[in-house]
Amino acid sequence: MQGTSKWSLYAEDVNAPSYFAGHVGIGVQAPWYPLHVVGTGGIGAAAFDARSNDNSVYPALYVSRMRDDATQPGAEFGASMTFALEGSVDYTMVDVGTISMFWEGAQSNATTARDSAMVLSTMQDNARAERLRIASTGNVGIGTTSTGSRLTVRDTQASIEVAEFGNDDTGTSSGVLQLKVNRATPATGNQFVSFVNNGGTDVGSITGDGAGGIQYNLTSDRRLKNQIRDTHYGIADLMKIRVRDYQYIGHGVDTNGFIAQELYEAYPHAVSKPEDESTNWWQVDYGRLTPLIVKGVQDTYGLCRMTEAQTQHLQARVDAHEIEIQNLKREVQSLREKNQELERKLDKVLRHLNLE
């Protein structure tokens, strides 16, 4: 104890003061704080144990903060537990992280105003910053103070992904991520995944299809487009695409599809070309081939219709020639009959002349 000999550990009167006027040190001769406890030997500095005979939750440690005046606490008024570690200089303590609880709004009443949040902060490059926030609603924000969804995760680093999900099990039935909509038949309005740009516009989604399955959607609203015109791609471009059989290196299983570099030469709209081939691979979006396939089918149908029209025209000409041939046959038959009649008459004349 420092600074005074005034202290009281016990009093029969519950209103009697129990205090130490100076700092108290346990296990340390020069305490830095009103209560400074130092433990050695790796057993910890302090333990708090709340005991009872039921299964309820009781506070083992009570941390509070109050104002010294009568002013009502405002937003972000709170208390924190700070963690400190020894720095590069002996006995120099560095605050490396905190767990904080605070009010989300000013305390204007004893009901609706009592919304609290929790924040976890850590230190990086000698700067402590908020890493995780749990709002009064139970919504969680990681890397952001925004908690508009049950889980909001943000990052500003370009070299890594915002989140990674993995399953280290090597079995053939292990899974990674399950997305659930609480409907027996998810409708098209039930979104499993929504893709949004920085302006808040939906650019795609994975939704139910209203028939027990799912559908993959790419935003294609006319209101988002201009310079609309018929495509210059067609069946000739589709015929340039080479479908290949191959194996992925290290897998040894036959499959088929496209080679991204080859497809890029014929139809680049379905290929993602990496800016740096040393760090990323060429990729193919097979769904983006759908417009070209449809246009190819339309061109083929157009050629079929043209061929059909030409065939009908030729058939009409053939039919006309057939009629003409039939008419000529009838004329020939008529001439044959007339010729036979003339031959009979000539024969009678010749026989008459012979008799005379």
pLDDT tens, residue by residue, 124-133: 999 999 999 9
Res. 188: pLDDT tops 80: yes
Mean pLDDT of 245-266: 95
- Asked if pLDDT for residue 143 goes beyond 70, the answer is yes
Q: Distance (Å, rounded) from C-alpha 232 to C-alpha 30?
A: 84
Tell me what pLDDT residue 111 has: 83
Radius of gyration of the chain (CA): 45
For tokens 């599809």, what's the residue? 257
Is the pLDDT assigned to residue 355 strictly greater than 80? Answer: no
Contact 106, 113 (CB under 8 A): yes
Q: What is the pLDDT of residues 81-98, one digit of tens each?
A: 999 998 888 778 899 999
Task: Locate 3 and state its tokens.
Answer: 């600074």
Confidence band, pLDDT 50/70/90 cuts, at residue 28: confident
Confidence of residue 108 (pLDDT cuts 50, 70, 90): confident
φ, ψ dihedrals at 313, nearest 5°: -65, -45
Torsion of CA 182, 184, 186, 192, to 10 degrees: 40
Least confident span in 111-115, 176-180, 317-321: 111-115
- Domain range summary for the chain, segments of one domain joined by +: 1-62, 63-156, 180-228, 230-356
Q: What is the mean pLDDT of residues 195-200?
A: 92
Q: Rounded CA gap, 190 and 183, in Å? A: 9
- What whole-number distance in Å separates Cα of residue 327 and Cα of residue 332? 9
What percentage of the chain carries pLDDT values higher than 70?
94
Percentage of the chain surpassing pLDDT 90? 63
* Per-residue confidence band for 245, with pLDDT thresholds at 50, 70 and 90: very high
- C-beta atoms surrounding 133 within 10 Å: 21
Mean pLDDT of 243-256: 95
Strands 140-142 and 151-153: parallel
Closest CA to 108 of 71, 79, 65: 71
pLDDT at site 3: 44
Which secondary structure element, helix H or strand E, spans residue 326, and what is its range?
helix 290-355
**Across 42-51, 73-82, 164-173, 219-228, least confident range:** 42-51
pLDDT at 6: 46
Looking at residue 200, the DSSP 8-state letter turns out to be S
Query: Quick one: CA dihedral 71, 75, 77, 78, positive or negative?
Result: positive
Mean pLDDT of 19-27: 76
Predicted confidence band at 11 (pLDDT cuts at 50, 70, 90)?
A: very low
Residue 200 has pLDDT above 80, yes or no: yes
Hey, what are 353's tokens?
């002349």
Work out the pLDDT band at 207, boundaries 50, 70, 90. very high
Residue whose tokens read 């026989």: 351
Strand order in the sheet with 202-208: 191-196, 202-208, 214-218
Q: What's the CA gap between 181 and 39, in Å, rounded?
A: 52
The yes-or-no verdict on residue 249 having pLDDT over 90 is yes
254-257 vs 244-247, strand pairing mode: antiparallel
Mean pLDDT score of the chain: 89
